[in-house]
């Protein structure tokens, strides 16, 4: 008997080969992601066009309300709609990923209770779905850039890295919320609030520099600065600022310390999410 | 030593049955968290003071209950062995399979497995109704642990086995239930792991397809693969398995040769010996036992039943709504669930209109029981009019039919179905 496939099961020992297992189950991961992508727009007449229509509507409405009615300023002389789009696309990716991931394990209860695989595959594959939607929606941005004759610079090369950062930012809290939803279905009700509320604490209809300026003038240099630092702890602030910088140069001052804070927090949340998920996933089949 | 592929050592699995079930709400956790300091103070300070150092049982009795689904189970399975696991419902069979297939974690004990395991706890796990047959083959294959290459190689074989060629590109939600099950089983049947874990999945499809599945399982078993197998179908267990483990209330009760263990299992408490059997709280499918509920059956002529002798039984039932033209019936089925014989009030045309809140009974008299000696599942059911079932308890009881005074030697063996009186005329046509 070959000893290569030897498997020992002991209470609390499942964690040992976890990462090797995760690699071993990569085909299942890919096929589950593929399933989720294919199924998402099945039996809809517009099909994958929904991935364009939804963000487009949000962008248009937000531009009309905040740009035209409320008169929020643009920055860098860029059209206001570009400001909104560069933030709306990563934000929608984040909120979709969070919503889909948190429901994913519960929605796949039949799999969880009948088959073994590293459970992390399930929320991860739903993040792939949001990523595909995001990539489709990026064509809106491309269209707008053409229209406004906004030619990309070398900074566009940073975009893939920023997408990775966005994935990490969604995966960390996503894993925590997934594990919590398995145990407490209350989170099914809570997550829509988080997502709805979250958009306003992210620089979507305004730019970070606008907020910075407002905070400094309203609360003074010291307090305003501190508040801005607190604000920047939101991982998506870094991602959105990065996107704007990559597309049109962003604000004249890029808030580097705040950006790094954002990255550190993303990494921290990812770490906590992974640890918490792994700690609870062993009991998923029992409590789901 | 080297040919042991599964070694299970003192395996135990505990479930905590909370007052609020498993998915206890956030509220309780917050409550527990908020009251934790108080409980802590109580346990640390107050109790010793109040009791002068005598330890009293804790004030806060936990509102949870422990339940050991498995307790100290140990066994070994050798390379190429086909091992059956039997036991009554709730004996821990499924939990054992779930631990071995890593779906859930044991509380204590150790398991050692040598080889690639595939587990088949359900037919069609992960099938997605929106996807086509073709897509589902790849999805389900991957879920069961086949690689893409493997599935591609066996694709045609799977399709042919399932007999769904024409519907490959139709979403499976449009499939008939038979086609669905055939496709699902076909994928599973083409798994080629070193160790296969199977839970009661062969009871699918129509009779013809079942036969095909059984044939396939035979091939698997003969192919030198190690198989762990749970079923209530004792006839199948006898033909497939080389060894049987009998679980009883989470503990290992016996291990041995199929013939011996299965016979002892059937003769043990599994067959009813009490002449009055309560059926009121027996689980039903949805919608059954709602309008009218069968509450009890009493064997007036005692148990076991005897072949070729008279049987008298009284069935009691309650009506929760008015039911027109209610009928009552019992059926004898083999342990594999094949019905051999049915007695029904409808046969002599007896129906009754029952009133809401009423309690009724009906007494069945059989002059001579034609079912040969053996062990049988008893099905009990009730209909309203010719078509509409109102209560049904298939296989709710296992009963023994013993040879009677008139049973002849050749009839005592069983396995020939029901024997009814008949007339034969011999003729010698030799020229």
Residue B2 predicted with pLDDT over 70: no
Task: Give pLDDT tens digits for B135-148.
Answer: 999 999 998 888 88
Nearest by CB to A116, from B23, B102, B111: name it: B102
ipTM over 0.85: no
Residue A242 predicted with pLDDT over 60: yes
Say if residues B22 and B127 touch (Cβ distance below 8 Å): no
Chain A residues within 8 A (CB-CB) of chain B? 1-3, 5-12, 14, 27-28, 31-32, 35, 38-39, 42-43, 108, 110-117, 183-186, 282-283, 285-288
B74-83: average pLDDT: 89
Q: Which of B238, B267, B296 is the last residue of a domain?
A: B267
Whole-number pLDDT of residue B1: 45
Using only the alpha carbons of chain A, give its radius of gyration: 21
Task: Give pLDDT tens digits for B293-348.
Answer: 999 999 998 888 888 899 999 999 999 999 999 999 999 988 767 888 999 998 88
Report yes or no on whether pTM surpasses 0.80. no
Whole-number pLDDT of residue A61: 92
CATH of the domain at B321: 2.70.50.60
| Cβ within 8 Å, pair A14-B105 | yes
Residues B137, B35 within the same domain:
no
B324 falls within a domain: yes
Residues paired with B112 in a beta bridge: A8, B7
Residues B42, B73 within the same domain:
no
Residues B336, B254 within the same domain:
no
- CB contacts of B22 in chain A (<8 Å) are 286-287
- Percent of chain A scored above 90 by pLDDT? 37
Instruction: Classify B303 as helix, strand or coil.
Output: coil
Query: What is the spatial distance between Cα B232 and Cα B262, in angstroms, rounded to a whole number?
Result: 11
Nearest by CB to B130, from A9, A39, A282: name it: A39
User: Chain B closest CA to A283's CA: distance in Å?
Assistant: 7
Nearest by CB to A31, from B101, B122, B138: name it: B138
Residues B317, B181 within the same domain:
no
Residues B74, B194 within the same domain:
yes
Q: Where does the pLDDT of residue B273 fall: very low under 50, low under 70, confident under 90, or very high at 90 and above? A: low
Query: What is the spatial distance between Cα A22 and Cα A28, in angstroms, rounded to a whole number?
Result: 10
**Which residue range is the domain that position B32 belongs to?**
20-62
Is the torsion defined by CA of B202, B207, B209, B215 positive or negative?
positive
For chain A, how long is the longest CA-to-CA vector? 75
Residue B393 predicted with pLDDT over 60: yes
Residue A235 CB-half CA count within 13 A: 24
Residues B129, B250 within the same domain:
yes
B2 falls within a domain: no
Those residues with Cβ within 8 angstroms of residue B202's Cβ, 6 or more apart along the chain or in another chain = B210, B213, B214, B217, B231, B233, B236
Q: Which of B208, B232, B267 is the last residue of a domain?
A: B267
CATH of the domain at B130: 3.40.50.300
Residues B141, B121 within the same domain:
yes
Residues B294, B198 within the same domain:
no
Give whole-number Cα distances, B1 to B5, B6, B81, B114, in Å. 9, 11, 14, 12
Answer left, alpha or beta for residue B102, where phi above 0 means left and psi between -120 and 50 means alpha: left
Nearest by CB to A9, from B2, B110, B144: name it: B110
B239 falls within a domain: yes
Residues B251, B283 within the same domain:
no
Nearest by CB to A286, from B15, B128, B143: name it: B15
B8 falls within a domain: no
Q: Which of B28, B62, B96 is the last residue of a domain?
A: B62
Phi, psi (deg, nearest 5) at residue B368: -145, 115
CA dihedral B348, B354, B357, B363 (to 10 degrees): -20
| Cβ within 8 Å, pair B104-A285 | yes
B13 falls within a domain: no
Residues paired with B381 in a beta bridge: B329, B392
User: Chain A closest CA to B10's CA: distance in Å?
Assistant: 11
CA nearest B80 in A: which residue? Answer: A1
B429 falls within a domain: no
Residues B220, B358 within the same domain:
no
User: What is the number of structural domains in chain B?
Assistant: 3
Those residues with Cβ within 8 angstroms of residue B426's Cβ, 6 or more apart along the chain or in another chain = none
B25 falls within a domain: yes
Residues B52, B110 within the same domain:
no
Q: Where does the pLDDT of residue A277 fall: very low under 50, low under 70, confident under 90, or very high at 90 and above? A: very high
Alpha-helical (H) ranges within chain A are 18-24, 26-40, 50-62, 80-107, 109-112, 121-147, 159-183, 186-198, 208-219, 221-232, 235-248, 256-281, 284-287
Using only the alpha carbons of chain B, give its radius of gyration: 27
Where is pLDDT greater, at A71 or B350? Answer: B350
A113-139: average pLDDT: 91
- Of A239-253, A257-271, B201-215, which has the strongest mean pLDDT? A257-271
- CB contacts of A32 in chain B (<8 Å) are 139, 142
B64-69: average pLDDT: 77
Instruction: Classify B338 as helix, strand or coil.
Output: coil
- CB contacts of A279 in chain B (<8 Å) are none
Chain mean pLDDT for chain A? 87
B233-239: average pLDDT: 77
B4 falls within a domain: no
Residues B160, B288 within the same domain:
no
């Amino acid at each position: 008997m070959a000893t290569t496939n030897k498997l020992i099961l002991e209470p609390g020992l499942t964690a040992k080969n976890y990462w090797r297992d995760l690699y071993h189950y990569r085909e299942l991961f890919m096929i589950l992601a593929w399933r989720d992508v294919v199924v998402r727009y099945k039996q809809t007449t517009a099909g994958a066009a929904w991935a364009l229509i939804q963000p487009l509507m949000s962008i248009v409405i937000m531009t009309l309300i905040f740009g035209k009615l409320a008169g929020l300023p643009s920055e860098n002389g860029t059209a206001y709609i570009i400001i909104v789009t560069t933030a709306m696309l990563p934000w929608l990716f984040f909120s979709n990923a969070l919503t889909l991931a948190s429901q994913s394990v519960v929605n796949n209860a039949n799999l969880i209770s009948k088959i073994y695989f590293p459970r992390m595959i399930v929320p991860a594959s739903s993040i792939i779905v949001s990523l595909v939607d995001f990539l489709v929606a990026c064509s809106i941005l491309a269209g707008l850039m053409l229209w406004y004759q906004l030619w990309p610079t070398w900074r566009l090369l940073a975009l893939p890295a920023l997408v990775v950062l966005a994935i990490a930012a969604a995966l960390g809290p996503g894993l925590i919320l997934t594990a919590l939803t398995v145990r407490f279905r209350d989170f099914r009700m809570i997550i829509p609030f988080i997502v709805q509320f979250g958009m306003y604490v992210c620089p979507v209809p305004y730019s970070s520099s606008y907020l910075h300026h407002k905070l400094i003038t309203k609360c003074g240099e010291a307090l305003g600065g501190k508040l801005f630092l607190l604000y920047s702890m939101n991982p998506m602030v870094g991602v959105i600022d990065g996107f704007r910088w990559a597309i049109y140069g962003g604000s004249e001052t890029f808030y580097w310390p705040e950006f790094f804070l954002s990255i550190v927090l993303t990494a921290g949340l990812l770490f906590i999410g992974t640890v918490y998920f792994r700690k609870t996933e062993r009991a998923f089949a029992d409590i789901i | 030593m080297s040919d042991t592929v599964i070694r299970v050592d003192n395996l135990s699995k505990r479930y905590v049955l909370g007052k609020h079930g498993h998915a206890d709400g956030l509220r309780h956790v917050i409550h527990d968290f908020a009251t934790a300091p108080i409980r802590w103070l109580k346990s640390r300070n107050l109790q010793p003071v109040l009791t002068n150092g005598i330890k009293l049982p804790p004030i806060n009795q936990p509102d949870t209950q422990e339940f050991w689904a498995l307790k100290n189970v140990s066994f070994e399975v050798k390379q190429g062995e086909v091992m059956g696991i039997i036991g009554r419902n709730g004996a821990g069979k499924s939990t054992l399979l779930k631990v071995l297939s890593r779906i859930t974690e044991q509380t204590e004990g150790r398991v050692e497995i040598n080889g690639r395991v595939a587990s088949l706890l359900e037919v069609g796990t992960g099938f997605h109704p929106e996807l086509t047959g073709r897509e589902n083959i790849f999805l389900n294959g991957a879920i069961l642990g086949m690689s893409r290459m493997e599935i591609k190689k066996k694709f045609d074989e799977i399709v042919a086995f399932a007999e769904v060629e024409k519907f490959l590109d139709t979403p499976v939600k449009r499939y008939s239930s038979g086609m669905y099950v055939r496709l699902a089983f076909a994928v599973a049947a083409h798994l080629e792991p070193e160790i296969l874990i199977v839970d009661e999945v062969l009871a699918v499809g129509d009779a013809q397809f079942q036969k095909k599945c059984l044939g396939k399982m035979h091939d698997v078993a003969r192919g030198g693969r190690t198989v762990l197998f749970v079923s209530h179908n004792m006839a199948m267990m006898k033909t497939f398995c080389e060894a049987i483990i009998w679980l009883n209330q989470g503990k290992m009760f016996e291990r041995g040769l199929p013939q011996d263990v299965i016979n002892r299992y059937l003769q043990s408490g599994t067959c009813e010996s009490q002449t009055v059997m309560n059926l009121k709280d027996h689980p039903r499918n949805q919608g059954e036992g709602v309008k009218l509920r069968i509450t009890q059956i009493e064997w007036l002529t005692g148990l076991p039943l005897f072949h070729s002798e008279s049987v008298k039984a009284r069935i009691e039932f309650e009506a929760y709504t008015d039911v027109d033209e209610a009928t009552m019936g019992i059926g004898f089925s083999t342990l594999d669930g094949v019905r051999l014989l049915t007695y029904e009030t409808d046969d002599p045309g007896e129906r009754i209109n029952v009133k809401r809140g009423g309690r009724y009974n009906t007494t069945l008299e059989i002059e001579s029981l034609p079912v040969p000696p053996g062990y049988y599942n008893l099905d009990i059911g009730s209909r309203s009019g010719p078509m509409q079932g109102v209560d049904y308890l298939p296989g709710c009881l296992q009963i023994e039919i013993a040879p009677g005074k008139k049973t002849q030697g050749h009839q005592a063996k069983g396995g020939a179905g029901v024997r009814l009186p008949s007339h034969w005329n011999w003729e010698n046509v030799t020229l």
